[in-house]
Amino acid sequence: MGNLVGSLRYREPSTVEECDSTWETDSESEELQEQQPGDHTNITEPSNEADSKEGDQENANIQNNDTRESAPKLKRSFYAAKDLYKYRHSYPNSKEHRQPSEYRNLRFYLNTIPLIPDGIYVEEILTKWKGDYEQLEHNHTYIQWLFPLREQGLNFYAQELTQDEIKEFQGIREAKRRFLVAYTVMLDFFGLKLLDKNGNVARAANWQDRFQHLNESQHNYLRITRILKSLGELGFESFKAPLVKLLLEEALVEETMPNMKHSALEYFVYTIRNRKERRALLRFAQLHYQPPEHFIWGPPKKRKPGAKMYCTQEKNTARAKPTREAVAKNTASLHASGDSSTGRTENNRSDKTENENRAKTASPACTDGQVCKTEEKSVSEGERASKNGKASVANKPKQASFKKKPEQGGKVEKQNQK
């Protein structure tokens, strides 16, 4: 039921940016840090497995296009990004309907059934195939059985994992022990060795010959991608970062496997589920990538902060900004030319104008290219009041008085006072 609900909510990403959340939650403090060459970190986003030469040509072309001549033309692969997105999100549209008796991957690792179609048991592979590089190189059916995934590989006899089978597998010590032995067999094939239970790896004694072979036989990059994915599925997520870090060092710093550069960045790094560990690996790669301007895996360039918007007066304006002294002078003329009632009215208006001017001067509310019209209005009102001060007194409203006329018996007659 959970898978059904998840599949209904799942929406296919349509761009590389939607598939890659590596820099989505990057904090400012982390953004400023640079990963040092000696540090170890983990990574996310694996790709589809296609080990055989007749395999998925689109995936193979992407991963194999790693020569220096092609570097200027590199761009992120949407195919790879979407495939790794599904892996990191536990295949949100997968269908899982299988009985425990049908767990072929677990039964194979318990040495109860052989891989199909070769009919070889896992114990035989682990004991007889180690060091048989011809067998490991040219056989293309065993890798899906040794490193199962929740996706169909090129060997259609191999069965995809389910979430329930993964839980069962991780709870059986014998299955996990054999899985780690299979990992060491493949590391030896690549010229590497497992150092400890934390997943740290280093060059093996045969590293020179194997690195040269690995640099030339690029279909093995697809196998590495599958191995990294399977490590994460079966409970060994922490083993990914040390392996990817070493491969990045060999490809970018030591240049023993330069043809692996693009696959390591486009695929290996993105098998790591932890965003912070992915970012650290990509920062390390960015330090050593050549040419640096062709590094396309982030971090994304930040937008430059926009210029602050200030309220400015229109240039070359004819009207000068009124000063406090001018406002005070206008107020004084109003008091001198008007009576007490008119003076109080004009004084209140002048005080209001001065307060408005102070507010406008402190934090103007106009926009660029505009004149603060409130100030202009205040100035014009003050000028009119100053010029027409006497007129306001002359035109003062006439007061009404009431006198009694004796002949009309005390009736009130309204007369205008001249």
pLDDT one-digit tens code per residue, 76-104? 999 999 999 999 998 988 777 788 888 99
- Per DSSP bridges, beta strands 201-203 and 400-404 are unpaired
Please give the pLDDT value at position 101. 86
Amino acid occupying residue 213: H
Give me the mean pLDDT over the 238-257 stretch: 98
Give me the mean pLDDT over the 159-184 stretch: 96
Please give the pLDDT value at position 8. 52
- Residues 6+ away with beta carbon under 8 Å from 100: 164, 165, 168
Question: How many CA atoms does the CB half-sphere of 234 hold within 13 Å?
Answer: 26
Structure confidence at residue 245 as a pLDDT band (50, 70, 90): very high
Please give the pLDDT value at position 25. 65
> 168 or 39: which carries more pLDDT confidence?
168
Of 130, 31, 68, 56, residue with least CA distance to 257 = 68
Structure confidence at residue 361 as a pLDDT band (50, 70, 90): very low
- Residues 6+ away with beta carbon under 8 Å from 184: 130, 193, 194
Lowest-confidence segment of 14-18, 222-226, 410-414 by average pLDDT: 410-414
- pLDDT 10s digits, 320-340: 445 555 555 555 554 444 444
- pLDDT 10s digits, 140-151: 999 999 999 999
> Helix axis angle, 373-387 relative to 324-337, nearest 10°?
30
Asked whether the beta carbons of 249 and 3 are under 8 A apart, the reply is no
In the block, residue with structure tokens 């550069």: 261
Give dist(CA 342, CA 153) in Å, integer.
96
- pLDDT 10s digits, 197-223: 999 999 999 999 999 999 999 999 999
Please give the pLDDT value at position 392. 45
Give the CA angle between residues 248, 254, 255 to the nearest 5°. Answer: 80
DSSP output for 87-122: HHTT-TT------GGG-HHHHHHTTSS-BTTTTB-H
Residue 408 has pLDDT above 50, yes or no: no
Cite the beta strand spans of 151-207 per DSSP E.
192-194, 201-203
Residue 300 has pLDDT above 90, yes or no: no
Amino acid occupying residue 222: L
Of 289, 287, 238, residue with least CA distance to 266 = 289
Give the CA angle between residues 46, 289, 18 to the nearest 5°. Answer: 40
- Residues 6+ away with beta carbon under 8 Å from 418: none
DSSP output for 359-389: HHHHS----TT---HHHHHHHHHHHHHHHTH
Give dist(CA 227, CA 184) in Å, integer.
11
CA-to-CA separations, 213 to 194, 202, 221, 359, in angstroms, rounded: 20, 17, 12, 78
Asked whether the beta carbons of 59 and 48 are under 8 A apart, the reply is yes
Asked whether the beta carbons of 241 and 42 are under 8 A apart, the reply is yes
Asked whether the beta carbons of 226 and 249 are under 8 A apart, the reply is no
